[in-house]
């Protein structure tokens, strides 16, 4: 059915993680449980890694982030939609337009300054914008999209 | 306001307005930049939200502990709440949030809680009814501090917002005042520019009027006005030039002068234009110009001046005047002057002739006086002497002596009468009262008749008459006048030649004339005397002692000329005088005789 939907070669089935840290629901082509794509840290690390150095609105100085580009992740799960809703562990939810991930290199970071992001801080995942590369991103209306303790994504 | 102050104001006012404009604009931009910078909000300015989320996570952690005790919450849910709580605590402890919390005075309770975190973690791990009071005791100061911090954050944020709005309002007012200043400066500049544009338009209009007037002057000038550039291409060609060269201005403009008329290729004209293009001024007067459309040449005056723009020579201007009429008038005046000079010369000659005549008349009267004093006094003296002798010797005189004295007296009176008659003849001649009745006349017979009649006056003198060989000498003349002439000539010959010498009379004849020549022995004076021989009342140096009044030869010549002939002295050997009477042989020969006599006269 999936192959019929996309008219492509049969995608490899996603492995089912024992302890998922990210779940992508909604309009996704690849899923591993309950119609959603669940990832643990190993699966995310298996995707093409990207590094980004930037300041943040809530920390001092320039920080180095390692993670996966959101558009790579969305492509990996075959996400089709116009809006992405990111939800944190504390139920903080923000809608982001899908086209934004094509305009900017927005990262789903799992490390900051070489250290894994912890759930007791801003981990396990943190949406990081390339704030220093684009002046328009240095705006409070983008600052609230930096969702930390990211846990769920829904594609519509 | 004088002109200087006005021009100073004209510069100072717009410059001041521009300076004010720029300063106010820069000030406004600076203020706007400040406002733009102040408008940026940082996440840390949203501390109320951060604190509230931390407070909520703390309360949720407390609820989760209660939920575990009630069996409603599993360990995973407990861990989630703990992580969220720790995450918010870590967020508050991060740099920017930490500094704000310090400013809000809530950092102490944060530090105390952080110090108690290991204890809290272990208490939560073994959560039970007995640990609840301690967990609440640890979280309670934290919640109270967050509540207080939330209040302070709200007040601080509102104060910040209020002061930001105050500062922004103040800056906006400054910008509004600057804008008013900019508007005023702009208004001044606009008014100035409008006035400047109006002034420029007025100047342009005046300039156009002057240009039109100049073009009118050039166009209406009777003088040809042509301007050329440095390549001798025509730039101005007025109507007079159009008429003169028969080339329209449209065709002439932009074309080289040499292509328009051969006149400009004449060597001296080319040189004159070249001299003007080098900065000189040249005038060529009365230059001939041969127009294409007429055969008669025109004459023009050409003046060349250089055209300058500052120190640079741009070209030359040629002023060409048609002076043909003036030249014609000058020529007419010259002709008139020559004519007047000729008239004056002729009149002078006439006056000279009149003067000569007057002098001749004076000489005539002087000669007449001299003649009268000599020729009239002598017979009068003779008469007087005879009468005196008769009176003195009245008693002793015999009849024969009385007769002799009377005869002498009568002879002297008769001589006087002849003198008077001769004088009257001359007067009649002068008055044109002598008539001529020409006819064929045999001069041979006439000579013989005269010789016979004058035989008694000749005192026995011998006269030889040589008749012409080819028949009788027939002349066309008045016999009375011819006799008068011959009598005079013969009388002169008898008077002025020695008594013992012969008098000869001969004839020469040609086709048109016949000459009767009276030859006697004697001599004449020099050339002067020969010239004066036929003058009236002139008596030669050889006439001393001989009676006469000096009209004989004058009368003879005059009478001969009246008949178309002449009397002249002919060349002869020394000691001989040949006097010829020339008369025409026929009516038509009279002109020839006159011409021949005129030719011989100088001899």
Range of the domain at A128: 15-155
Give strand pairing partners of B465. Answer: B505
Do B290 and B157 fall within a single domain?
no
Look at residue A65 and tell me whether its pLDDT is greater than 90: yes
> Distance (Å, rounded) from C-alpha B109 to C-alpha B461?
206
Question: Quick check: A90 and B82 CB within 8 A?
Answer: no
Question: Quick check: B90 and A143 CB within 8 A?
Answer: no
pLDDT at B43 (0 to 100): 52
Q: Is A140 on the interface with B (CB under 8 A)?
A: yes
Q: Is B90 on the interface with A (CB under 8 A)?
A: yes
Q: Is A89 on the interface with B (CB under 8 A)?
A: yes
Q: Is B91 on the interface with A (CB under 8 A)?
A: yes
From A136, which residue of chain B is nearest by alpha-carbon distance? B40
Asked if A55 and A132 count as a contact pair (C-beta separation under 8 A), the reply is yes
Domain presence at residue B483: yes
Query: Could you tell me which of B498, B488, B499 has the C-alpha nearest to residue B548?
Result: B488
CATH number at residue B276: 3.30.450.20
Tens of pLDDT, residue by residue over B434-478, are 888 888 888 888 888 888 887 777 777 888 888 888 888 889 898
pLDDT at A82 (0 to 100): 94
Tens of pLDDT, residue by residue over B298-312, are 899 999 998 888 788
pLDDT at A6 (0 to 100): 42
Domain presence at residue B127: yes
Look at residue B204 and tell me whether its pLDDT is greater than 80: yes
Tens of pLDDT, residue by residue over B2-37, are 778 877 877 888 898 899 989 999 999 998 898 888
Which of A146-155, B42-51, B414-423 has the least mean pLDDT?
Answer: B42-51
Out of B41, B82, B94, name the one closest to residue A140 (CB).
B41
pLDDT at A38 (0 to 100): 93
Tokens of A33: 């449980």
Do B202 and B297 fall within a single domain?
no
Domain presence at residue A10: no
Out of A59, A89, A119, name the one closest to residue B94 (CB).
A59
Q: What percent of chain B has pLDDT over 70?
A: 93
Q: What percent of chain B has pLDDT over 90?
A: 19
Tell me how far apart the terminal alpha carbons of chain A are, to the nearest angstrom. 20
Domain presence at residue A1: no
Question: Quick check: A90 and B43 CB within 8 A?
Answer: no
Question: Quick check: A140 and B42 CB within 8 A?
Answer: yes
Q: How many CB pairs under 8 A join A and B?
A: 55
Domain presence at residue B408: no
> Distance (Å, rounded) from C-alpha B289 to C-alpha B324?
10
Look at residue B591 and tell me whether its pLDDT is greater than 80: no
Tens of pLDDT, residue by residue over B321-368, are 888 888 899 999 999 999 999 999 999 999 999 999 999 888 878 877
| Residues in chain B closer than 8 A to A143 (CB atoms) | 42-43
- Tell me the pLDDT band of A2, cut-offs 50, 70 and 90: very low
Residue that is last in its domain, among B263, B288, B322 = B322
pLDDT at B44 (0 to 100): 55
Which helix or strand (DSSP H or E) is residue B282 part of? strand B282-289
pLDDT at B157 (0 to 100): 82
Query: Could you tell me which of B582, B562, B415 has the C-alpha nearest to residue B515?
Result: B582
Which position has the higher pLDDT, B537 or A78? A78
Do B164 and B233 fall within a single domain?
no
From A122, which residue of chain B is nearest by alpha-carbon distance? B87
Q: What average pLDDT is seen over chain A?
A: 88
Exposure on the CB side of residue B92, measured as CA atoms within 13 A: 35
Domain presence at residue A9: no
Residue that is last in its domain, among B220, B250, B269 = B220
Domain presence at residue B427: no
Phi-psi region of A25 (alpha: psi -120 to 50; beta: other; left: phi over 0): beta
CATH number at residue A107: 3.90.420.10
Average pLDDT over residues B484-492: 88
Q: What is the DSSP letter of B571?
A: P
**Distance (Å) from the alpha carbon of B178 to chain A's nearest alpha carbon:** 30
User: How many domains would you assign to chain B?
Assistant: 3
**Distance (Å) from the alpha carbon of A123 to chain B's nearest alpha carbon:** 9
| Residues in chain B closer than 8 A to A150 (CB atoms) | none
Q: Identify the burial level of B154 via C-beta atoms within 10 angstroms of its C-beta, where 0-12 means exposed, 13-18 middle and 19 or more buried.
A: middle
- Tell me the pLDDT band of B411, cut-offs 50, 70 and 90: confident
Q: Is A58 on the interface with B (CB under 8 A)?
A: yes
Using the structure block, give the residue that is written with the tokens 């919640």. Answer: B143
What is the DSSP pairing of strand B224-229 with strand B312-322? antiparallel
Domain presence at residue B490: yes
**B496 Cβ neighbours under 8 A, 6+ residues apart:** B520, B522, B540, B542, B543, B546, B577
Do B52 and B123 fall within a single domain?
yes
Do B216 and B241 fall within a single domain?
no
Asked if B85 and B58 count as a contact pair (C-beta separation under 8 A), the reply is yes
pLDDT at B112 (0 to 100): 80
Out of B80, B84, B97, name the one closest to residue A58 (CB).
B97
Look at residue B130 and tell me whether its pLDDT is greater than 90: no
Out of A58, A90, A143, name the one closest to residue B57 (CB).
A90
Give strand pairing partners of A97. Answer: A83
Q: What is the CA radius of gyration of chain B?
A: 77
> Distance (Å, rounded) from C-alpha B22 to C-alpha B31?
14
From B41, which residue of chain A is nearest by alpha-carbon distance? A140
Out of B57, B80, B94, name the one closest to residue A58 (CB).
B94
* ipTM above 0.85 for this complex: no
Residue B238 backbone dihedrals phi, psi, to 5 degrees: -85, 180
Query: Could you tell me which of B124, B84, B90 has the C-alpha nearest to residue B110?
Result: B90
pLDDT at B544 (0 to 100): 66
**B389 Cβ neighbours under 8 A, 6+ residues apart:** B405
What string of DSSP letters covers A12-78? PPPP--SS-SEEEEES-S--SBTTBEEE-HHHHHHSPEEEEEEE-SSSSSEEEEEEEEHHHHHHHHT
Domain presence at residue A8: no
Average pLDDT over residues B197-216: 91
Tens of pLDDT, residue by residue over B392-407, are 888 888 888 888 888 8
**Distance (Å) from the alpha carbon of A51 to chain B's nearest alpha carbon:** 22
Q: Is B470 on the interface with A (CB under 8 A)?
A: no
Do B244 and B164 fall within a single domain?
no
**Distance (Å) from the alpha carbon of B90 to chain A's nearest alpha carbon:** 6
Average pLDDT over residues B524-532: 72
* Helix boundaries (H) for B372-457: 377-392, 399-431, 443-453
pLDDT at B600 (0 to 100): 43
Do B246 and B292 fall within a single domain?
yes
Domain presence at residue B330: no
Domain presence at residue B238: yes
Tokens of A84: 């992405």
**A156 Cβ neighbours under 8 A, 6+ residues apart:** A26, A27, A81, A82, A83, A84, A85
Range of the domain at B307: 223-322
pLDDT at B427 (0 to 100): 78
Domain presence at residue A104: yes
pLDDT at B601 (0 to 100): 41
Out of B56, B80, B90, name the one closest to residue A121 (CB).
B90
> Distance (Å, rounded) from C-alpha B509 to C-alpha B357?
36
Task: Provide the CA B516 distance to its chain's centre, in angstroms.
Answer: 77
| Residues in chain A closer than 8 A to B46 (CB atoms) | 140
Cβ atoms within 10 A of the Cβ of B501, count?
15
Q: What average pLDDT is seen over chain B?
A: 84
Q: Is A119 on the interface with B (CB under 8 A)?
A: yes
**Counting runs of H as helices and runs of E as strands, what totals does chain B give?**
19, 12
Do B85 and B114 fall within a single domain?
yes
Give Cα separations from A91 to A148, B98, B266, B314 (angstroms). 11, 24, 110, 90
Question: Quick check: A57 and B57 CB within 8 A?
Answer: no
Domain presence at residue A146: yes
- Tell me the pLDDT band of A14, cut-offs 50, 70 and 90: confident
**Distance (Å) from the alpha carbon of A137 to chain B's nearest alpha carbon:** 12
Give strand pairing partners of B515. Answer: B508, B582
Question: Quick check: A120 and B44 CB within 8 A?
Answer: no
Do B68 and B125 fall within a single domain?
yes
> Distance (Å, rounded) from C-alpha B328 to C-alpha B321?
15
pTM of the model: 0.47
Give Cα separations from B340 to B324, B331, B332, B349 (angstroms). 24, 14, 12, 14
| Residues in chain B closer than 8 A to A92 (CB atoms) | 53
Do B246 and B188 fall within a single domain?
no
Domain presence at residue B377: no
| Residues in chain A closer than 8 A to B95 (CB atoms) | 59-61
pLDDT at A3 (0 to 100): 37
Average pLDDT over residues B593-600: 46
- Tell me the pLDDT band of A11, cut-offs 50, 70 and 90: low
pLDDT at B45 (0 to 100): 65
Do B179 and B312 fall within a single domain?
no
Which position has the higher pLDDT, A121 or B1? A121
Cβ atoms within 10 A of the Cβ of B135, count?
18
Which position has the higher pLDDT, A105 or B260? A105
Which of A58-67, B62-71, B500-509 has the least mean pLDDT?
Answer: B62-71
User: How many domains would you assign to chain A?
Assistant: 1
Do B272 and B196 fall within a single domain?
no
From A58, which residue of chain B is nearest by alpha-carbon distance? B96
Look at residue B72 and tell me whether its pLDDT is greater than 50: yes
Tens of pLDDT, residue by residue over B227-239, are 999 999 999 898 8
Which helix or strand (DSSP H or E) is residue B229 part of? strand B224-229
B240-272: b (≥16 Cβ within 10 Å) or e: bbbebbebeeeebeeeebeebbebbeeeebeeb
Task: Provide the CA B529 distance to its chain's centre, in angstroms.
Answer: 67
């Amino acid at each position: 059915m999936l192959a019929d939907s996309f008219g492509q070669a049969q995608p490899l089935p996603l492995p089912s993680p024992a302890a998922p840290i990210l779940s992508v629901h909604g309009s996704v082509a690849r899923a591993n449980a309950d119609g959603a794509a669940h990832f643990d840290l190993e699966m995310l690390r298996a995707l093409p890694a990207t590094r980004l150095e930037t300041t943040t609105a809530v920390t001092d100085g320039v920080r180095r982030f390692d993670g996966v580009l959101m558009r790579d992740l969305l492509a990996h799960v075959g996400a089709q939609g116009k809006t992405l809703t990111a939800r944190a562990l504390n139920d903080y939810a923000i809608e982001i337009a899908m086209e934004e991930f094509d305009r900017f290199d927005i990262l789903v970071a799992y490390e900051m300054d070489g250290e894994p992001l912890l759930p007791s801080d801003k981990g396990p995942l943190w949406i990081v914008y390339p704030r220093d590369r684009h002046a328009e991103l240095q705006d409070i209306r983008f600052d609230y999209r930096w969702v930390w303790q990211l846990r769920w994504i829904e594609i519509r | 306001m004088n002109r200087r102050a006005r021009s100073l104001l004209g510069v100072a006012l717009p410059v001041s307005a521009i300076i004010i404009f720029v300063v106010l604009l820069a000030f406004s931009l600076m203020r706007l930049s400040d406002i733009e910078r102040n408008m940026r909000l940082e996440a840390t300015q949203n501390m109320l939200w951060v604190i509230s989320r931390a407070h909520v996570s703390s309360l949720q952690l407390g609820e989760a502990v209660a939920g575990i005790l009630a069996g409603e919450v599993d360990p995973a849910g407990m861990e989630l709440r703990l992580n969220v709580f720790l995450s918010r605590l870590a967020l508050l402890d991060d740099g920017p949030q930490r500094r704000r919390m310090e400013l809000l005075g809530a950092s102490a309770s944060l530090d105390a809680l952080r110090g108690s975190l290991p204890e809290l973690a272990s208490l939560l791990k073994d959560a039970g009814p007995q640990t609840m009071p301690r967990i609440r005791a640890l979280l309670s100061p934290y919640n109270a501090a967050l509540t207080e911090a939330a209040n302070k954050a709200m007040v601080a944020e509102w104060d910040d917002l209020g002061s930001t709005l105050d500062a922004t309002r103040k800056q906006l007012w400054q910008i509004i005042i600057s804008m008013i200043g900019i508007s005023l400066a702009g208004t001044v500049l606009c008014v100035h520019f409008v006035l400047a544009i109006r002034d420029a338009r007025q100047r342009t209009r005046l300039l156009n009027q002057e240009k039109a007037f100049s073009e009118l002057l050039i166009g209406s000038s009777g003088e040809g006005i042509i301007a050329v550039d440095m390549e001798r291409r025509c730039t101005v060609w007025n109507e007079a030039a159009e008429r003169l060269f028969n080339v329209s201005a449209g065709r002439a403009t932009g074309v080289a002068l040499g292509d328009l008329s051969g006149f400009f290729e004449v060597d001296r004209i080319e040189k004159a234009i070249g001299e003007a293009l080098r900065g000189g001024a040249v005038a060529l007067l009365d230059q001939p110009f041969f127009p294409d459309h007429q055969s008669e040449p025109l004459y023009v005056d050409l003046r060349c001046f250089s055209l300058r723009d500052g120190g640079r020579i741009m070209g030359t201007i040629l002023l060409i005047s048609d002076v043909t009429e003036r030249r014609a008038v000058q020529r007419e005046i010259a002709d008139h002057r020559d004519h007047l000079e000729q008239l004056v010369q002729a009149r002078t000659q006439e006056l000279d002739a009149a003067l000569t005549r007057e002098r001749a008349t004076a000489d005539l009267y002087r000669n007449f006086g001299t003649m009268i004093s000599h020729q009239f006094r002598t017979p009068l003296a003779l008469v007087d002497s005879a009468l005196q002798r008769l009176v003195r010797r009245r008693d002793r005189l015999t009849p024969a002596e009385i007769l002799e004295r009377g005869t002498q007296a009568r002879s002297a009176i008769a001589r006087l009468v002849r003198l008077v008659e001769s004088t009257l003849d001359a007067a009649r001649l002068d008055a044109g009262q002598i008539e001529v009745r020409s006819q064929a006349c045999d001069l041979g017979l006439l000579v013989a008749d005269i010789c016979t009649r004058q035989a008694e006056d000749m005192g026995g003198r011998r006269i030889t008459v040589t008749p012409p060989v080819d028949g009788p000498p027939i002349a066309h003349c008045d016999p009375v006048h011819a006799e008068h002439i011959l009598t005079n000539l013969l009388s002169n010959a008898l008077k002025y030649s020695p008594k013992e010498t012969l008098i000869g009379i001969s004839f020469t004849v040609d086709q048109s004339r016949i000459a009767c020549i009276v030859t006697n022995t004697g001599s004449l004076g020099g050339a002067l005397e020969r010239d004066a021989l036929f003058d009236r009342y002139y008596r030669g140096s050889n006439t001393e002692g001989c009676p006469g009044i000096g009209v004989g030869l004058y009368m003879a010549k005059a009478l001969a000329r009246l008949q178309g002939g002449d009397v002249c002295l002919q060349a002869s050997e020394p000691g001989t005088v040949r006097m010829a009477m020339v008369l025409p042989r026929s009516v038509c020969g009279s002109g020839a005789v006159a011409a021949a006599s005129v030719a011989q006269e100088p001899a």
